[in-house]
Structure 1
Amino acid sequence: MQIDADNHDADSHQVIQVRGARENNLRNISLDIPKRRLTVFTGVSGSGKSSLVFGTIAAESQRMINETYTAFIQSFMPTLGRPDVDGLNNLSAAIVVDQERMGANSRSTVGTATDAYTMLRIIFSRLGTPHIGTSTAFSFNTPDGMCPRCEGIGQISDIDVDQLVDRELSVNEGAITVPGYAVDSWYWQVMAGSGFYSPDTKLKDFTEQEWADFLHKDSVKVKVGSNNFTYEGLITKIQRTYLAKDREAMQPHIRSFVDRAVVFTDCPDCGGTRLSAAALTSRVDGLNIADCSAMQISDLATFVRRLADPGVAPLLTSLRELLDSLVEIGLGYLSLDRPSGTLSGGEAQRVKMVRHLGSSLSDVTYVFDEPTIGLHPHDIRRMNDLLLRLRDKGNTVLVVEHKPEVIAIADHVVDLGPGAGTAGGELCYEGDVDGLRSSGTLTGRHLEHRARLRESVRAPRGQLSVKGADLHNLKDVSVDVPLGVLAVVTGVAGSGKSSLIHGYLAGQEGVVVADQSPIRGSRRSNPATYTGLLSPIRTAFAKANGVKAALFSANSEGACPNCNGLGLVYTDLAMMAGVSSVCEECEGKRFTPEVLGYELRGKNISEVLDMPVAEAREFFTTGQARAILGRLGDVGLGYLRLGQPLNTLSGGERQRLKLAINMAEKSSTYILDEPTTGLHMADVDKLLALLDRLVDDGNSVIVIEHHQAVMAHADWLIDIGPGGGHAGGEVVFEGTPAALVAGSDTLTARHLREYVSS
């Protein structure tokens, strides 16, 4: 990589120099980012913020760090390509604190992920009575401390036999309903020919011995016909082949079967605590380590403050500071035994952030991706304090963010745009916040923009009633959610909003949930396949060229044989991260040369799938394709490419994609979970217009949201609180936004009042 020749004075080492960045849609931009300062990157979704911050700066830092390892070690690491940039100078080591969930490893908890549990183990090994050994005696991840029955998982699995078989039928009649065991299948033949029972006897008539052999027999050799096979009882085989696998790695039909057939219950030996009986006997100030782990972190912080012992004084201080930081960042409602895989993207990001606050490293570049996601305005102030603390330790802090409250604390702002996708990628402004306000850019114009309280609210046309809700922290909540209006549910993080709405309304008839959860599907899925858009596109290509439509599917006949239509070749490195490279045969275009020779109005199928939604709307002006593209544009996804893999979409983008699909359904009730996630301030107004349109078309819209613009625009507000965790779980206000502002003193009321009066 070339070193830029200009600016080699003493000041040049105080900035990260970016010269000629062209990654994704970036248009050859150059800028200087001050080091040891807080820089916020703004711009509409798809403007190029992530391409600059993550795809260029953080990616090159990571690549250069990897190059410091020996060739032997590098051979086991994924090969990172150089970002498309002329020069990147004065980089420091970059740590990306993103919203990726923390993995579904059942052995990972909030306590293990933050090292809080490690500190607690050492404290119990020193202060606990009776003394039972070293800190490993309190670890559920080591043989010393784990419960032998559940091996430190805390749960045991039980199989519902009636989800595996139909007792009214015989094996020959298809009694086994497990996937892969259909009559005449390989597994079925071994079961039917095993000789342990008659395949013509109905299961309900099996003897006790036949039933035991059928379900639980250990592996044994049997002769079926002239061949030898290994026979196992049905449950024995399912436990070995299905239950030993990670759920997320299963094929969808296997996963749905396992979810039906397997019931997980707390381990009866350890009561779900994961720990050995000895570990549970040792106590400090009347509590064992499982009691401490199950406590809300805010309560645990109070408990730890009561402890004093010179032998572990430094450790107690460190644990207190860590727990206080978790409380300060708005995670005081969590417990240390909470599995880390159950945290939302925003919660996972904040847990990672606290981990770095305790680090003694300085002069590091920390990169954050919308750290305010999932945060009430009350909690955003605390998040800002932590970002500033990281900066004040001598670090460079780079934040991709839309919220004006975070932009306001920036030392430096970089605004990208002016639009999204091909209409973005330019440097619109860089400088201080005051300069941004007067810059005339889209971000600058919207910085002081405020949505007004709705002047007249719609009258409800019925209601969904919840009675005596007590899931998680809800305290016997009864509430009527009005229908035919825009109803917004709000409250601080952990107050019980999601427990109320997802726990009690989501399953009801006619209720459609559009959330940010990952979309089931492989890396082959994209907006065109997921929305059904590919079907009319394939038909149009087939009709124009007089050939069959299957040629224009990268999952079918037209696929490049080298990459099987992926456009990428994946190399599996077993336990290491896999490596992908662009297919050399099709150069990433996914189709055979023959298929790429067919055109529709001057474009081949690969070029059409590379179009952003907005461009495709101009290309397909009629029919089903135009209708689907119109809905994608309406939800603010005009910049998405039709063929972009779904696993590259953010949570907010996934939610808006699901909403676009559901908008084609007949009138219903929509539940949206933080739909402003990832939206620029200018796009929030468009979202409000879309929500209005949904309601005016006869739908009901229920939104879980923290954004004051959405609260102000609501017909009806339900505020849950007053705090998070066991300090929440109550309805603290029901009524119009105007009534909340005029007469309530909840945390939401205070922030909304400040918002509409500024």
Structure 2
Amino acid sequence: MIKVRGARANNLAGISLDIPKRRLSVFTGVSGSGKSSLVFGTIAAESQRLINETYSAFVQSFMPNLPRPDADGLHNLSAAIVIDQERMGANSRSTVGTATDAYAMLRILFSRLGEPHVGTSGAFSFNVPEGMCPRCEGLGEVSQIDVDQLVDRRLSLNEGAVTIPNFAVGNWYWEVLVSSGFYDPDKKLADFTDQEWHDLLRKETVKVKVGNHNITYEGLIPKITRMWLVKERDALQGHVRAFVDRAVVFAECPDCGGTRLSAAALSSKIQGRNIAECAALQITDLAKFVRGIEAESVGPLLDNLRGLLDSLVEIGLGYLSLDRPSATLSGGEAQRVKMVRHLGSSLTDVTYVFDEPTAGLHPHDIRRMNDLLLRLRDKGNTVLVVEHKPEVIAIADHVVDLGPGAGGDGGHVTFSGDVPGLRASTTLTGRYLEHRVRLRERPRQPRGHIAVEGADLHNLRDIDVEVPLGVLTVVTGVAGSGKSSLVHGYLAGRDGVVVADQSPIRGSRRSNPATYTGLLGPMRTAFAKANGVKAALFSANSAGACPKCKGIGLIYTDLAMMAGVASVCEECEGRRYTPEVLTYTLRGKNISEVLEMSVAEAHGFFPAGQAHAILGRLADVGLGYLRLGQPLNTLSGGERQRLKLAIHMAEKAATYILDEPTTGLHMADVDKLLALLDRLVDDGNSVVVIEHHQAVMAHADWLIDLGPGGGHDGGRVVFTGTPAALVAEADTLTAQHLREYVDRD
């Protein structure tokens, strides 16, 4: 047994429980009940912290700093491997092939069997000089800079001809240009000679004298390349990122045709295909191709590669290709790619921790995911899964239900035992295990439609479809069938269309639900009015901020070779404000205490006005348990989506697009979501939802089902009509599962 004693992370109420090892345990409960705090913030965090402490200080400097979890004791832990839904980073050199080691195996295969023989496996790698295309350096695309986005030719340097951020007249970078002596700063750029243009734009690094200082001069293009273009795009912020997006055009590399590889690597073939062509194949097709290769000299390698490719197909990723950039995968796809890496591992007695592994999966694929979870368990591992889907709960050896509510109303173990025991219990999860939503008997009638014609983005097969307006439309289909390509590619971006998805919310360490939703404005105004002082005092980014931590509440310390440490500010004790500001109160509470409130508490605290309206929308989307001052980077993808939806609900929108809004929702909360969607439609809006949850499908007015499979087996409209018609007439995978769901009603 893993023994947890007195766990108090976040809202956990000092809970103690035993979790069986080498079993599959599922943790359930409403959003905000404490599941992640127990599994990730306590058990996994302590396991990883203890392992990290065994490494040298130098190695630890490259690892995340994990604080000791707030618990009296944790016993009998084993090494924990967390397989979450975090995107796999924006590294442009990472692909599905490199992330799973499938491409490494393919490289060895071509180095042994490829004709003509061109070298070792490194000769087929786009990440080392030996194999990369020299023109694009293994990126597959080249950047071209639009000079007219850098300068205004009609002006001189003294008149502000350089339009690059941080190069304004009087700025240090501008000073270096005008003092270099390579051109006349009063001369219009349009009158520059070829040599002057070269010196301004492309001159390599040289030393020049500016006043009494010797400084380094380089042309604008090499300078901005060095400063910004070598960085990942997502690392750039604000006006710099906007400038790069505007000034830099990326095009397919003309030398390698986007394959990233050298001419030598592309010349070597097996059965008529080079390695780039193999990497571009859909994984289901690549698996067939590899099965057709017979070579005793690489027999074990072929067996391993076939097993890995078959696992990718089995887990529902057969529609991907090995050259697909990792950064383009959804959270669910990224989690399944990470999972495949562990299926063939020789490690046993490991604790695998999953965060909603069925996110983004059609009911057809959930059964395959269940099989993989059981396979991990049967190898002798402990598998801990945070999950809401009844299909996953049903296969658990042990269930821990947390609640009874969210936030301050949660954090207690309401049930711990087997599935029959949960089903017989009176907990919310136990009551909802067999809950079913009935088919909508009288679908609402559309007021018109949006016509999509000849849609051929990604795997879409030149399809025509009409999306009805004024109703709830649900777009379904297995993973990779083309749902996102259709909805995001052809509906998003139109006038009056609002998209609320699960993508990360941009913001600093200071960002929280109060700042992001605009709630802090009326809060500050209310405090200022009640105390007769200026509103800026109640902003942690302005006059009222604690001077030591600058209003963050934490002090971040860089320990050089050791990992950085975040500690609570001793001066304000994490309250973010000066002592003076905290003396001002509103109905007995200071600003820090209000920011510690949950949305539900604050909704009662602000009984009217703009603050009450904003908090009401947050409660409507199921975020009543969120703290107003909770950092945005701690929110899950589903919480981020619902936060965006709450903001957009204040707008005058015509059409809402939601991408899997049930992600992270307990079965009881799905009913609340359906009521919210109904309200949006009844208020005169159109709602289009990409969704796999059968309850949402059954509740729809209209269904658009794509398929029949994923990748090149998908991209077709296999059904459009009402849910009742789908259940009665259709023979698609969605129809089969919705029919089974309804039959059990």
Q: Do they fold alike, i.e. is TM over 0.5?
A: yes
1:548 and 2:534 correspond: yes
- Mean Cα deviation higher: 660-669 or 184-193: 184-193
Residues in 2 aligned to 1:462 and 1:577: alpha-carbon distance in whole angstroms: 58
Query: How far is 1:73 from its partner?
Result: 5.2
Residues 77, 576 of structure 1: 8 Å contact kept:
no
Query: How far is 1:229 from its partner?
Result: 4.8
1:180 and 2:180 correspond: no
1:629 and 2:629 correspond: no
Residues in 2 aligned to 1:521 and 1:390: alpha-carbon distance in whole angstroms: 37
2:595 is aligned, of 597, 609, 622, to 609
Secondary structure in 1 matching 2:81: strand
Residues in 1 aligned to 2:683 and 2:562: alpha-carbon distance in whole angstroms: 51
Secondary structure in 2 matching 1:182: coil
Residues in 2 aligned to 1:174 and 1:705: alpha-carbon distance in whole angstroms: 52
* Match of residue 243 from structure 2: 257
Residues in 2 aligned to 1:212 and 1:462: alpha-carbon distance in whole angstroms: 58
* Match of residue 449 from structure 1: 435
Residues in 2 aligned to 1:98 and 1:43: alpha-carbon distance in whole angstroms: 18
* Match of residue 415 from structure 1: 401
- Mean Cα deviation higher: 374-383 or 591-600: 591-600
Alignment of 1:214-613 (within 5 A): 214-222=200-208, 229-572=215-558, 578-613=564-599
Q: TM-score, normalised by structure 1?
A: 0.95
* Match of residue 662 from structure 2: 676
Number of residue pairs matched by the alignment: 744
Q: In the alignment, residue 31 of structure 1 is paired with which amino acid? A: L
Residues in 1 aligned to 2:651 and 2:188: alpha-carbon distance in whole angstroms: 45
Query: How far is 1:460 from its partner?
Result: 1.4
* Match of residue 12 from structure 1: none
Residues in 1 aligned to 2:723 and 2:703: alpha-carbon distance in whole angstroms: 6
Q: 1:173 to 1:482 in 2, by over 3 A?
A: farther
Cα deviations by residue, 1:487-521 (Å, 9 ceiling, x for unpaired): 11111111111111111211111111100000111
Query: How far is 1:273 from its partner?
Result: 1.2
Secondary structure in 2 matching 1:316: helix
Residues 57, 562 of structure 2: 8 Å contact kept:
no
Where structure 1 has 5 or more consecutive residues not aligned to the other structure, the ranges are 1-14
* Match of residue 81 from structure 2: 95
- Mean Cα deviation higher: 260-269 or 400-409: 260-269
1:83 and 2:69 correspond: yes
Residues in 2 aligned to 1:574 and 1:726: alpha-carbon distance in whole angstroms: 50
Residues 667, 698 of structure 1: 8 Å contact kept:
no
Residues in 2 aligned to 1:652 and 1:488: alpha-carbon distance in whole angstroms: 18
Cα deviations by residue, 1:273-312 (Å, 9 ceiling, x for unpaired): 1111111111111111111111111111111111121111
Query: How far is 1:30 from its partner?
Result: 1.4
2:43 is aligned, of 57, 60, 63, to 57
Query: How far is 1:74 from its partner?
Result: 5.0
Residues in 2 aligned to 1:403 and 1:168: alpha-carbon distance in whole angstroms: 63
Residues in 1 aligned to 2:60 and 2:266: alpha-carbon distance in whole angstroms: 44
Q: In the alignment, residue 279 of structure 1 is paired with which amino acid? A: A
Residues 76, 573 of structure 1: 8 Å contact kept:
no
Q: TM-score, normalised by structure 2?
A: 0.97
CA RMSD of aligned residues (A): 1.8
Query: How far is 1:89 from its partner?
Result: 1.6
Query: How far is 1:69 from its partner?
Result: 3.4
* Match of residue 47 from structure 1: 33
Query: How far is 1:65 from its partner?
Result: 1.6
Residues in 1 aligned to 2:203 and 2:61: alpha-carbon distance in whole angstroms: 45
1:744 and 2:730 correspond: yes
Query: How far is 1:189 from its partner?
Result: 3.6
- Mean Cα deviation higher: 414-423 or 464-473: 464-473
Alignment of 1:5-16 (within 5 A): 15-16=1-2
* Match of residue 125 from structure 2: 139
- Identity, in percent, stands at 81
Q: 1:72 to 1:517 in 2, by over 3 A?
A: closer
Residues in 1 aligned to 2:441 and 2:212: alpha-carbon distance in whole angstroms: 83
Residues 673, 705 of structure 1: 8 Å contact kept:
yes
Secondary structure in 1 matching 2:346: coil
Residues in 2 aligned to 1:186 and 1:742: alpha-carbon distance in whole angstroms: 72
* Match of residue 18 from structure 2: 32
Residues 78, 579 of structure 1: 8 Å contact kept:
no
Residues in 2 aligned to 1:116 and 1:74: alpha-carbon distance in whole angstroms: 29
Residues 353, 383 of structure 2: 8 Å contact kept:
yes
Q: In the alignment, residue 706 of structure 1 is paired with which amino acid? A: H
Residues in 2 aligned to 1:200 and 1:712: alpha-carbon distance in whole angstroms: 71
Where structure 2 has 5 or more consecutive residues not aligned to the other structure, the ranges are none
Query: How far is 1:669 from its partner?
Result: 1.1
Residues in 2 aligned to 1:70 and 1:196: alpha-carbon distance in whole angstroms: 51
Q: 1:629 to 1:85 in 2, by over 3 A?
A: same
Q: 1:709 to 1:87 in 2, by over 3 A?
A: same
Residues 65, 563 of structure 2: 8 Å contact kept:
no
Residues 468, 478 of structure 1: 8 Å contact kept:
yes
Residues in 2 aligned to 1:265 and 1:181: alpha-carbon distance in whole angstroms: 27
